[in-house]
Structure 1
Amino acid sequence: MAQDQPVGALLREWRKHRGLSQLDLAIQAEVSTRHVSFVETGRTLPSRSMVLHLAKHLRVPLRQRNRLLVAAGYAPVYQERPLDGPDLAMARETIQQVLHGHEPYPALALDRRWNILLSNAAAGVFLEGADPALLGPPVNMMLLGLHPDGLAPRLLNLPEIRGYLLPRLAQQVHRSGDPDLSQLYEELLSYGPPVEPADPDPAAVALTIRIDHHGTELRLFSTVTTFGTAFDITLSEIAMESYFPADEATAAFLRARRETALGTAVRTG
């Protein structure tokens, strides 16, 4: 979305992005279609509460709700505090507990730009063999995954993964207008041929990631958990990505890997 637009134009873009007509939004938000039309065309300047009300029904992310408020002439209301700061210490501990609880399977907490904020020990399976230049903080999971010196050479279904991830990132760039994400997208495009969206396997539950790990094929799929009721921008943008084995051989391998690591820790402790 373009920057420095009036609030009405921004709300119209979000409405269209959600695939809603003015009537649809009016019914959901329990306001008149006339009022929605007047707000979008600039004939009516919405109150602060109306901006937030419409944004809620359009499922606008908190960061962008602040932008809507500023465009309407109001102060932002949502804070953005660092995850490693004292105010979010309990949230950070909770996230880490969730990630540790997912072992022996990999789990990561990512920010809106795909940087790894926290991870569990099992996530090391993604890092092994990567160029150290890609492992300096913050580690970007999208870059690590598709870079030719990262995880990409070990991905046995790399074209399928690219065909899934890059269109997803392109949509994120379009929604956010984030120049850093746009730069990341352009860099990732340069690593391979033009991307065609992957055709989903109708028999699959989710996209399977196939990794060559020292000659053993690991098959994983992932789920994403977010803070659905967060009122802090940082927390609202965190995605906890949990990976699950897609077959019993992968499950057994990861369980054995965990047991070996624990045994080593006991012997050296």
Structure 2
Amino acid sequence: MTTPVKVGELLRQWRDRRRVSQLDLAISADISTRHLSFVETGRSRPSRDMVLRLGEHLDVPLRERNQLLLAAGYAPVYGESELGDPDLAAVREAVRLLLKGHEPYPAAVLDRTWNLVDANASLGIFTDRVAPELLAPPVNVLRATLHPDGMAPYVLNLGEWRAHLLGRLRGQVTRTADPALADLLAELNGYPCEQPAPEVEVPGPGDIFVPLRFRHRDTELTFFSTVATFGTPLDVTVAELVIESFFPANPATTAYLRDQAGDGVG
């Protein structure tokens, strides 16, 4: 039988993960170092408000803040709704407006494990040659991008783009300590890639972002992407949603996407 992890141990793990000293955390959370030490060693039981305060100052994700509360003997305070729930109607409407308004450029909504939640029609320019089994729900965007039967053969700078995506995922694993994300990272690291990843990302002359260079049919397209999240979420599901929007990085890509939209071709 597995022994439950105590809240003090969890807090210490998060503090170590964030590379914050006891003194720095105590100062920022406005508590004594002695009291924080007693909490971490189990000599003192923190109040619910203190657990929440420490979780906030350690930038612990909402899902894991609920776990801290449970470990301290309190009920979770952050709800976890289904995206189809009536309470999230405004969220769904906002997401659809963003997706629709971004056309004819691709955009997608992802959950915490990079599964596709929603997308606009323009995303089809990336997925029309992806193997059907990789597009069976739930569609994992990283898997569909980097798998040899996915987008990978058509990504012209695969080594560079792969390193960019794996770097983002690696950072996410560090921030969240999510075992599902760690497993996904291990899986993706095992995918073959003939193009070597750069050891250090050194920008070339005029470079301002890591581009996605993608071949659609006989045309080379170049994109950059932006990532948006909800600014003040109090629901776990909403906090974990990510909207990734792709923009054309040159006039030729802009013209091609507009022509494709006009022809109704994905």
Q: What's the TM-score once normalised by structure 2's chain length?
A: 0.90
Alpha-carbon contact 1:210-1:218 (below 8 Å) kept? yes
Mapping for residues 4-19 of structure 1, pairs under 5 Å = 4-19=4-19
Mapping for residues 79-228 of structure 1, pairs under 5 Å = 79-192=79-192, 198-201=200-203, 203-228=206-231
Structure 1 residues 145 and 198, CA gap change in structure 2 (3 angstroms): farther
Alpha-carbon contact 1:163-1:198 (below 8 Å) kept? no
**Pairwise CA distance, 1:9:** 1.7
Gaps of 5+ in 2: none
User: For residue 260 of structure 1, what is the aligned residue in structure 2?
Assistant: 263
Q: Which amino acid is 2:235 matched to?
A: D
What does the per-residue CA deviation read over 1:73-103, in whole Å, with 9 as the maximum and x for residues that have no partner? 1111111111022221221111111111111
The 4+ residue runs of structure 1 with deviation greater than 6 A are none
Other structure's SS at 1:220 match: strand
Q: Name the count of aligned residue pairs.
A: 261
Q: What is the rounded CA distance, in whole Å, between the counterparts of 1:176 and 1:197 in structure 2? A: 25
Structure 1 residues 198 and 126, CA gap change in structure 2 (3 angstroms): farther
User: For residue 64 of structure 2, what is the aligned residue in structure 1?
Assistant: 64
What does the per-residue CA deviation read over 1:44-82, in whole Å, with 9 as the maximum and x for residues that have no partner? 211001000111111111000000001111111111111
**Pairwise CA distance, 1:205:** 2.4
Other structure's SS at 2:245 match: strand
**Pairwise CA distance, 1:144:** 0.5
Alpha-carbon contact 1:167-1:197 (below 8 Å) kept? no
Q: What is the rounded CA distance, in whole Å, between the counterparts of 2:263 and 2:28 in structure 1? A: 54
Q: What is the rounded CA distance, in whole Å, between the counterparts of 1:4 and 1:200 in structure 2? A: 45
Q: What is the rounded CA distance, in whole Å, between the counterparts of 1:75 and 1:179 in structure 2? A: 23
Other structure's SS at 1:221 match: strand
Structure 1 residues 39 and 195, CA gap change in structure 2 (3 angstroms): farther
**How high is the sequence identity, in percent, across the aligned residues?**
53
**Pairwise CA distance, 1:155:** 0.5
Gaps of 5+ in 1: 265-269
Alpha-carbon contact 2:60-2:176 (below 8 Å) kept? no
**Pairwise CA distance, 1:156:** 0.5
Q: Which amino acid is 1:69 matched to?
A: L
Q: What's the TM-score once normalised by structure 1's chain length?
A: 0.89
Q: Which amino acid is 2:229 matched to?
A: T
Other structure's SS at 2:215 match: strand
**Pairwise CA distance, 1:113:** 0.8
